Structure 1
Amino acid sequence: MKLDPLSLRLFVRVVEDGTIASVAAREHIASAAISRRLSELEDALGTQLLVRTNKGITPTAAGINLTIMARDVLDDLQNIVTRMQEYSAGYRGLVRLLVNISTVSTFIPPLVKSFLERYPDVQLRLMERDSLSITEGVAENLADIGVFTSLPHSADIEVYPFRRDELKVLVRSDHPLAERESVTFAEALDYEHVVLRTGTHLRLQMLTAAGQAGKSLRYKVEVTSYDALCKMVECGVGIGVLPAGIARIYALSNTRTLSLDEAWASRELSICVRRLDALSPVARIFFDHLRAGC
């Protein structure tokens, strides 16, 4: 037995109005067609649902019970439609995001917060990766959107500008460089460093610059976060190179931040997608949100 949602809706309306004629006028359906649907509904359920008199129509005990259940069913069906419309409009859904350590510590958190305030029914799955892995991950559909430090890559992706950041040198207040306003990387290489883990774009930049300067990057401590890097510098383990935004966030009282006098200290951050026109509605809305301040 199949119950027709239209028949249930007409049944509820007739019970509410008490007449078929008023429902027929409101729904633009012939009275005979409504009457036939009600009779078919009673036949299908094998019980009398309505009492018809010259004064109107009233529900039987079974009809009252069906009215309650039918309202619930019709509400559920409307909720299905509403929910699916929210997905198609981008107001609900999942966005998978790959970000590098620099952006997840600086630019991304406030953008996520403002986005979720506007779209509270959207879920964001955020995963931190190194920049090269981000381009490869987006190309392989492991994520919808990637945010990374611009670098040469071979991934089949579309890349769009996002932000720029500046690299700084963090030193302890009693360090020999602490009285300087700026320093070249060659000068910084004369001292012990605290470095990020292997695989990060910053680590690669530093190793490349050290090779070009004819020096080695000296370090005894390797960390996985900028928080740990800053605390190691504060304790006097070494000096560190990090984005200006990170230095502002942690702003440790026993440290100083110096400008890094190198062209490569100014870095471009980018957003990548496989194809912009292939993004889901919710992913496209989040992409536009990321790009809004560019």
Structure 2
Amino acid sequence: MLFDLTDLRLFILIAELNSLTRSAERMNLSLAATSNRIKELEARFGMRLLYRESKGVQLTPAGQTFLSHAQQFMQQVERLKGDMQQYNNGIKGYIRIFANTTAVTEFMPEILGKFLTLHPQVNVALEERLNHDIMRGIQEGTADIGIVAGPVQGEGLEILNFSTDKLILATALEHPLAGVGKVTFAETLEYEHVGLHEGSTLHHFLNRIVSESGQRLKLRIQVRSFEAMCRMVETNVGIGIVPQSAALRHKQTMQLSLVELSDPWSVRERSMVVQSLDALPLYARDLVEFIRQQTAQVPPVPVEKEAA
């Protein structure tokens, strides 16, 4: 055989850390043993996989190809372990999820809480990522399930629509736009906004919309969560574009006016993305179906039409 699982794990780690030394430490190998393993791999394939540089190592084009196959191979190994774990109570399943801001902060915590209670042998890693990072994570096999909102394209991936959400405008009760019924996003740009942090999916999405229109978003403050956004909006620091599901939840405890956006892009399909549903471990397929069931149980609630 050209390589073993240790070779693959080691190479993936080297690609992540760009360092033979740190990878050796993480794998509990000596630096000499680590270097020899890479040299043997290169000798077996008859080509260089790494560029050795003073600041670390970088993958060659051949190394990039080897990395892609190594990640896919290791993902298959994890799937095999997962499917077999149902026969051994001592083994736990592990699901890696990359998701957008709304999923991470709004509906996934409740869904995962229920799922993990029903599946005590399964562990989950949930990470907030941007849409393009989510898609890349699924393609490269660093995540098992991706959750995105809005139109997505992933050649060779399965995209499973599971619910719909809508972006709306939240304002303080005394704001000029409170209770107007409908507005366009462009009409909100003359006012100061409360936004999410730089790394959030929604921030990047709205910035792209503004850039394409040639206008500017007046950000008064940026915060880390939809709850913080709504609290700032409530005190009239600014107005905010938020998912309807989050706005309706926070409106129960805050003094907010919710205004519908008439822009077509405000309606967003939520989708799960996987490499192949059939290839996922049984417990990961169970989670995909559980997410579908849980989100189907909650019908979309219309924005309250407030009197002008």
Query: Could you tell me how far apart the structure 1 residues matched to 2:196 and 2:134 are?
Result: 17
**2-structure distance, mates of 1:106, 1:88:** 34
Q: 1:191: which partner in 2?
A: 191
Q: 2:164–2:270: 8 Å Cα contact kept in structure 1? A: yes
Q: What letter matches 2:280 in structure 1?
A: L
Aligned mates of 2:114, 2:141 — CA distance in 1: 26
Q: Matches of 1:119 and 1:190 in 2, distance apart?
A: 50
Q: Deviations over 1:186-245 (max 9, x none)?
A: 111110111122343423332343345443211131223212211221222210000001
Is 2:226 the counterpart of 1:230? no
- Give 1:276's aligned amino acid: L
| Alignment-derived partner of residue 246 in structure 1 | 246
CA contact (8 A) 1:194 1:237 kept: yes
> Would you say the 8 A contact 1:131–1:200 is kept in 2?
no
SS in 2 for 1:114: helix
Structure 2 gap ranges (5+): 1-82, 297-308
Q: Which residue of 1 aligns with 2:267?
A: 266
Displacement of 1:249 in angstroms is: 2.0
Matches within 5 A, 1:32-111: 86=86, 92-111=92-111
Shift of the 88–149 alpha-carbon distance from structure 1 to 2, 3 Å rule, reads: farther
Query: For the Cα contact (< 8 Å) 2:101–2:202, is it kept in 1?
Result: no
Change over 3 Å in CA distance of 1:194–1:87 after alignment to 2: farther
Hey, what does 1:59 align to over in structure 2? none
Specify whether residues 152 and 94 from structure 1 end up closer, same or farther in structure 2 by C-alpha distance, changes over 3 A only. closer
**Residues of 1 paired with 2:101 and 2:85: CA distance?**
35
1:170, distance to aligned residue in structure 2 (A) = 0.7
Per the alignment, in what secondary structure is the counterpart of residue 138 of structure 2? helix
Q: Deviation per CA, 1:33-53, whole angstroms, max 9, x where unpaired?
A: xxxxxxxxxxxxxxxxxxxxx
How many residue pairs are counted as aligned between the two chains?
211
Q: Is the 8 A contact 1:92 1:282 kept in 2?
A: no
User: Highest CA radius of gyration, 1 or 2?
Assistant: 1
- Aligned partner of residue 254 in structure 2, secondary structure: coil
Aligned position for 2:161: 161
The TM-score, its normalising length taken from structure 1, stands at 0.65
Q: Are the equivalent residues in 2 in contact too, given 1:132–1:153 (CA < 8 A)?
A: no
1:276 to 2:267 alignment: no
1:134 matches 2:129: no
1:167 CA displacement: 0.6
Separation of aligned partners in 1, 2:127 and 2:222:
21
Residues 158 and 276, structure 1, Cα contact 8 Å, conserved in 2: yes
In structure 1, distance between residues paired with 2:104 and 2:87: 26
Give the structure 1 partner of residue 125 of structure 2.
Answer: 125
Q: Residues 179 and 286 of structure 1: is their aligned pair in 2 closer, same or farther, counting only changes over 3 Å?
A: closer
CA deviation profile, 1:100-146 (whole Å, cap 9, x unmatched):
11112333233213322322222111111122211111212221111
Which consecutive unaligned segments of at least 5 residues does structure 1 have? 1-82
Question: Cα offset for 1:156?
Answer: 4.8
- 2:187 partner SS: helix
Give the Å deviation of 1:87: 5.3
Q: How does 1:192-231 map to 2 (within 5 A)?
A: 192-231=192-231
Q: Does 1:143 align with 2:143?
A: yes
Residue by residue, what CA displacement relative to the aligned partner does 1:64-111 show, whole Å, maximum 9, x if unpaired?
xxxxxxxxxxxxxxxxxxx9652579x941111111111123332332
Q: TM-score, normalised by structure 2?
A: 0.62
What CA RMSD, in Å, does the superposition of the two structures yield over aligned residues? 2.5
**Any idea what the Cα deviations from partners look like across 1:146-184, whole Å, max 9, x if unmatched?**
111134445653211121101110111111111312211
Contact persistence 1:134–1:148 (CA under 8 A): yes
Q: CA deviation at 1:256?
A: 1.1
Distance in 1, matches of 2:161 and 2:178, equals 34
Whole-Å separation in 2 of the counterparts to 1:142 and 1:157: 14
Give runs of aligned pairs for residues 5-44 of structure 1, distance below 5 A: none
Indicate if the aligned counterparts of 1:144 and 1:273 stay in contact, CA closer than 8 A: yes
| Residues 174 and 87 of structure 1: CA distance in aligned 2, closer, same or farther (over 3 Å) | farther
Q: Which amino acid is the alignment partner of residue 261 of structure 1?
A: S
Partner in structure 1 of residue 115 of structure 2: 115
Instruction: Using the aligned pairs only, state the percent identity.
Output: 34
